[in-house]
């Protein structure tokens, strides 16, 4: 704490917040799972001020926790409980530096809200496709640092695919300027890609140049009742074929997830007349001024129904109806909260194995879950499944969750490992998944990550205790479950 004071004493009072009422909202994570402490929140106004903070923290060996919108699902932005780390928020660095319609690029400060970036692109009749349920509170610096995925990755890719360059303050206080929005640049290592997904452990991202797309001229959104999970990927392939790869979202929602939400939300209504165990929210968009999507979607729906894969469907006839359909999808996590919360598994497998994972995973929960309820949904067009497990109605959740974490989660993660999938599809490691990485991660990769971390941040001041486990300096034998 004394050393924190030494850093604070050398900083302009205008960027230091020590009011614990304000700091408190940053010391607990979004899921209320991690609780930390910090003597101060630093709010720099420029890259030079960020560099000064990092330099001072390096001099005094003080840990820094960069915080964006604090929507991380894995405790990535929560400081340690010891109260010996400083929080750094870029909320005052929130300018759109440039929108270039000719380059189809945009350069922004890292503290910009994702929704502000989307709107700034729209104002120029352009489109920034990254889209998450948290977009009104998360910052682009956080999106870059978590390599966020979201609902449009099936067409536009994840954050990594949308970043052309970065500016960042490295752990030694130097500023890496790699902001030029070049489409091709093979001058050695693409260092900005190291910072993407590093969760603040290799530096503080201060600005990003982003890849824009032309704004859609038309889009079609439909909510489909689907026969089986094994129909999901054939349907995606059919839709891609019919529309010429114009599918932008392909979101799976199980009947159980939808029903949990609807039962507790009287204002929402079921979107299809016929019910099924499985639903898909599909959206396609084109920026063509010549081609219409309507005949393509009609052909796709007709073929899907003829083959018995689509049982029923609703096509949004207005922007309001489109928003209503998306509203259902976005509120699915809330449905879980209203039903006592869940143990979340944010996993991915290759897209061709989504149905197999859902089937095998559900069988494991049926066998070992002691009556647990399942809520399965996700970005299945990218092979990303949110496979969440809830306590039975009326059960004492804390004890039940402990049982699930002991008996069910390891079996699900074993299954994912066997299928060569990922135990963290889009939320990262933070502090929540360090142990999983010990068990299921590749030790060679873990060692290389630890080597990179030690080389770039030898004093371990950047977000200590996240992503790279403290012990990861030696190759260790890890358990791969049978």
Ligand X SMILES: Cc1cc2nc3c(=O)[nH]c(=O)nc-3n(C[C@H](O)[C@H](O)[C@H](O)COP(=O)(O)OP(=O)(O)OC[C@H]3O[C@@H](n4cnc5c(N)ncnc54)[C@H](O)[C@@H]3O)c2cc1C
Contact footprint for ligand X (CB under 6 A): 30, 65-73, 76-77, 90, 110, 132-134, 138-139, 141-143, 145-146, 148-150, 199-200, 204-205, 333, 426-427, 430, 463, 466
Q: Which is nearer to ligand X, 282 or 293 (CB)?
A: 282
For residue 215, count other CB atoms closer than 10 A to its CB: 14
Q: Which is nearer to ligand X, 36 or 68 (CB)?
A: 68
Chain centroid to CA 352: 22
CB 385 within 8 A of CB 354: yes
Q: Which is nearer to ligand X, 133 or 234 (CB)?
A: 133
CB of 215 to ligand X, least distance (A): 22
CB of 189 to ligand X, least distance (A): 19
CB of 132 to ligand X, least distance (A): 4
Q: For residue 139, what are the β-bridge partners?
A: 113
Q: Which is nearer to ligand X, 261 or 310 (CB)?
A: 261
For residue 480, count other CB atoms closer than 10 A to its CB: 11
Q: Which is nearer to ligand X, 142 or 304 (CB)?
A: 142
CB of 87 to ligand X, least distance (A): 9
CB of 384 to ligand X, least distance (A): 8
CB of 426 to ligand X, least distance (A): 4
Q: Which residue has the tokens 């922004």?
A: 108
Q: Return d(Cα 241, Cα 304) in angstroms, integer.
A: 12
Of residues 181, 110, 184, 105, the one with CA closest to residue 145: 110
CB 260 within 8 A of CB 372: no
Q: Which two tokens stand for residue 422?
A: 């990922």
Residue 428, by phi and psi: left (phi above 0), alpha (psi -120 to 50) or beta?
left
Q: Which is nearer to ligand X, 433 or 466 (CB)?
A: 466
Chain centroid to CA 118: 17
Torsions phi, psi for 358 (to 5 deg): -60, -40
Q: Which is nearer to ligand X, 139 or 286 (CB)?
A: 139
DSSP one-letter code for 259: H
CB of 174 to ligand X, least distance (A): 15
CB of 435 to ligand X, least distance (A): 17
Q: Which is nearer to ligand X, 134 or 219 (CB)?
A: 134
Q: How far is CA 386 from CA 24, 302, 317, 426, in A?
A: 29, 29, 29, 10
Closest chain position to ligand X (CB): 142
Chain centroid to CA 63: 24
* Sign of the four-CA dihedral 219, 223, 226, 231: positive
């Amino acid at each position: 704490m004394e050393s924190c004071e030494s850093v604070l004493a050398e900083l302009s009072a205008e960027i230091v917040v020590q009011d614990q009422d304000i700091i408190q909202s940053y010391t607990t994570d979004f899921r209320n799972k991690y609780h930390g402490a910090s003597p101060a929140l630093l709010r720099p106004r420029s890259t030079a001020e960020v560099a000064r903070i990092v330099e001072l923290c390096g001099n005094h060996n003080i840990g820094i926790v960069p915080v964006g919108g604090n929507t991380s699902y894995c405790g990535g932005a929560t400081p340690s409980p010891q109260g010996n780390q400083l929080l750094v928020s870029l909320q005052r660095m929130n300018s759109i530096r440039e929108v270039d319609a000719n380059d189809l690029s945009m350069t922004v400060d890292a503290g910009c809200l994702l929704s502000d970036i989307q709107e700034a692109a729209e104002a120029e009749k352009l489109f920034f496709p990254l889209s998450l349920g948290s977009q009104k509170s998360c910052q682009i610096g956080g999106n870059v640092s978590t390599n966020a995925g979201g609902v449009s990755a099936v067409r536009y890719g994840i954050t990594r695919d949308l970043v052309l360059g970065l500016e960042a303050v490295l752990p030694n206080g130097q500023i890496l300027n790699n902001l030029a929005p070049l489409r091709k640049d093979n001058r050695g290592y693409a260092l900005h890609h190291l910072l993407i997904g590093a969760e603040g452990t290799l530096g503080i991202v201060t600005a990003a140049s982003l890849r824009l797309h032309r704004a859609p001229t038309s889009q079609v959104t439909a909510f489909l009742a689907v026969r089986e999970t094994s129909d999901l990927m054939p349907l995606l392939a059919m839709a891609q074929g019919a529309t010429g790869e114009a599918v932008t979202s392909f979101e799976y929602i199980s009947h159980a997830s939808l029903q949990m939400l609807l039962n507790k939300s009287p204002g929402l209504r079921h979107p299809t007349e016929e019910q099924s165990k499985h639903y898909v929210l599909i959206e396609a968009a084109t920026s063509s001024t010549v081609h219409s999507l309507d005949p393509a979607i009609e052909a796709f729906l007709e073929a899907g129904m003829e083959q018995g894969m689509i049982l029923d469907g609703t096509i949004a006839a207005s922007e309001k109806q489109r928003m209503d359909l998306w509203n259902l999808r976005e509120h699915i996590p809330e449905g879980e909260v209203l039903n006592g919360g869940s143990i979340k598994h944010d996993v991915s497998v290759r897209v061709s194995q989504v149905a197999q994972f859902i089937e095998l995973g559900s069988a494991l929960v049926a066998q070992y879950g002691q009556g647990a309820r399942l809520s399965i949904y996700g970005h299945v067009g990218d092979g990303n499944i949110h496979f969440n497990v809830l306590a039975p109605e009326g059960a004492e959740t804390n004890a039940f969750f402990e049982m699930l974490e002991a008996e069910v989660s390891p079996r699900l993660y074993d299954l994912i490992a066997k299928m060569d999938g990922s135990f963290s599809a889009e939320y990262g490691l933070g502090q929540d998944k360090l142990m999983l990485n010990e068990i299921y991660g590749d030790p060679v990769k873990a060692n290389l990550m630890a080597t990179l971390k030690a080389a770039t941040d030898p004093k371990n001041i950047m977000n200590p205790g996240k992503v790279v486990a403290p012990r990861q300096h030696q190759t260790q034998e890890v358990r791969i479950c049978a």
